[in-house]
């Protein structure tokens, strides 16, 4: 499976998840399928870090999308401005920063990464510290047994025996990735996030 195919799968799972959360909360299957999205995105962050020519520009794009997406996110999930909960792109920015920091191998890198996870928790970003740690885990390309056990323990510690355990079903998809980017999908895959939230928020209202 290519990176492009994984990204399309993540977009599809995310869309179904948000349709379930905003419009059809009674359809639990949509939320279950939606658990696949975050692990795929965290994994792809690691791949993006490996191949990017400029980490500052990569982070800048993600931060710009985080800012652009905040009002659509609030509209969809809170029907208005909500300063107490931030969209997932903020989590991805912090996760990517933590992963880049750890990959430097410098002394204190893991302490800095832990600080970024706590910052995500303090800012109440979507998935919070869990998303940052998940990025560190999946972006490291560790042994499959270690990855599966680590993700299971991480998910249980953060969410208990909940629907979030379906996120583990993403692992076989990630393991099918053969290192190729595949077809270039363009910047629309990023803009899709705020656009579909605006649509869902409007439909909900």
**How would residue 72 be classed by pLDDT, with cut points 50, 70 and 90?**
very high
Name the percent of the chain lying above pLDDT 90. 84
Q: 170-186, pLDDT tens digit by residue?
A: 999 999 998 888 777 77
Run of H or E residues at 46: helix 37-51
Does residue 163 have a pLDDT over 90? yes
Q: What's the predicted TM-score (pTM) here? A: 0.93
Q: 107-145, pLDDT tens digit by residue?
A: 999 999 999 999 999 999 999 999 999 999 999 888 899
Q: Mean pLDDT lowest for which of 54-63, 151-160, 182-191?
A: 182-191
What was the pLDDT predicted at 142? Answer: 82
Tokens matching residue 102: 């750890």
The residues near 57 (Cβ < 8 Å, ≥ 6 apart) are none
Tokens matching residue 195: 């656009």
* Cβ 91 vs Cβ 42: under 8 Å: no
What was the pLDDT predicted at 39? Answer: 98
**Is the model more confident about 187 or about 84?**
84
Does residue 80 have a pLDDT over 90? no
What crossing angle do the helices spanning 88-103 and 128-138 adopt, rounded to 10°? 40
Nearest partner of 39 among 118, 1, 121, 95, judged by Cα: 95
Average model confidence (pLDDT) for the chain?
A: 94
Q: 30-56, pLDDT tens digit by residue?
A: 999 999 999 999 999 999 999 898 999
What was the pLDDT predicted at 8? Answer: 95
d(C-alpha 60, C-alpha 64), whole Å: 6
Whose tokens are 């899709």? That residue is 192
* Cβ 117 vs Cβ 107: under 8 Å: no
* Cβ 58 vs Cβ 190: under 8 Å: no
d(C-alpha 89, C-alpha 126), whole Å: 8
């Amino acid at each position: 499976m290519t990176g492009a195919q994984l990204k399309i799968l993540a977009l599809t799972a995310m869309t179904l998840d948000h349709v379930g959360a905003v419009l059809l909360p009674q359809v639990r299957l949509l939320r279950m399928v939606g658990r696949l999205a975050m692990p795929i995105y965290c994994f792809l962050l690691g791949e993006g870090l490996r191949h990017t020519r400029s980490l500052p520009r990569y982070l800048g794009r993600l931060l710009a999308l985080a800012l652009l997406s905040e009002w659509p996110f609030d509209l969809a999930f809170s029907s208005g401005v909500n300063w107490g909960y931030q969209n997932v792109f903020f989590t991805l920015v912090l996760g990517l920063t933590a992963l880049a920091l750890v990959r430097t191998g410098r002394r204190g890198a893991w302490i800095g990464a832990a600080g970024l996870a706590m910052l995500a928790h303090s800012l109440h970003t979507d998935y919070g510290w869990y998303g940052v740690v998940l990025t560190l885990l999946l972006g490291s390309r560790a042994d499959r047994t270690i990855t599966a056990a680590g993700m299971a323990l991480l998910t249980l510690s953060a969410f208990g025996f909940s629907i979030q355990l379906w996120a583990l079903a993403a692992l076989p998809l990630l393991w099918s990735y053969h290192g190729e980017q595949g077809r270039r999908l363009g910047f629309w895959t990023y803009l899709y996030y705020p656009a579909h939230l605006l649509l869902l928020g409007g439909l909900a209202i």
